[in-house]
C-alpha cells in the first residue's frame, strides 16, 4: 500500500514495531523527511491490547493496620518481583503507581 507523506509528499514506507510490552503495531515512515504516521485505527488497537495486558482486577485486603493488594503471579513473573524486594509507591490523581526497584 503506497502512502504519501502529508508533510513533504515523499514516499511512506511501512514498518512493524513492538512496544516494550510486546504489542505489535505498524506505522509508516517518510523516506524523505522521516515523519512517522500511526493511523487512528492502529492506535486504538494498540491501546486495546495495552489495556488487556495491563489491567488486573485485584482485591484490597487488610494486613495489620494497613491495607494490601495481591500482585498477580503473572505480573510478578514479568516484572521479576520477589518477596522482600523494595518498590516505590507513587500516589497519582486517580490511583497510584508501584515501581519495583531494579534488580
Ligand atoms: Zn515526508
Residue (of 21, 14, 69, 70) closest to 42 by Cα position: 14
Q: Cα angle at 65 between 60 and 66, to 5 degrees?
A: 40
Task: Name, of 3-7, 13-17, 43-47, the range with top average pLDDT.
Answer: 13-17
Q: Measure 22 CA to ligand 1 centroid, in angstroms.
A: 28
Q: What's the CATH number for 3-54?
A: 3.10.20
Q: Measure 32 CA to ligand 1 centroid, in angstroms.
A: 5
Rounded CA gap, 25 and 48, in Å?
Answer: 12
Average pLDDT over residues 20-26: 78
CATH 2.10.260 positions along the chain are: 60-100
Residue-wise pLDDT for 43-82, tens only, equals 777 777 776 666 788 889 999 999 999 888 888 888 888 8
Residue-wise pLDDT for 73-85, tens only, equals 888 888 888 899 8
Q: Measure 2 CA to ligand 1 centroid, in angstroms.
A: 13
Q: Measure 31 CA to ligand 1 centroid, in angstroms.
A: 7
- Structurally, at CATH architecture level, domain 60-100 sits in Ribbon (2.10)
Amino acid at each position: 500500500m503506497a502512502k504519501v507523506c502529508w508533510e513533504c509528499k515523499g514516499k511512506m514506507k511501512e514498518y512493524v514495531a513492538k512496544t516494550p510490552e510486546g504489542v505489535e503495531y505498524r506505522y509508516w515512515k517518510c523516506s524523505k523527511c522521516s515523519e512517522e504516521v500511526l493511523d487512528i485505527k492502529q492506535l486504538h488497537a494498540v491501546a486495546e491490547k495495552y489495556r488487556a495486558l495491563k489491567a488486573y482486577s485485584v482485591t484490597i485486603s487488610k494486613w495489620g493496620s494497613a491495607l494490601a493488594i495481591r500482585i498477580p503471579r503473572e505480573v510478578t513473573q514479568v516484572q521479576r518481583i520477589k518477596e522482600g524486594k523494595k518498590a516505590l509507591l507513587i500516589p497519582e490523581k486517580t490511583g497510584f503507581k508501584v515501581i519495583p526497584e531494579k534488580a
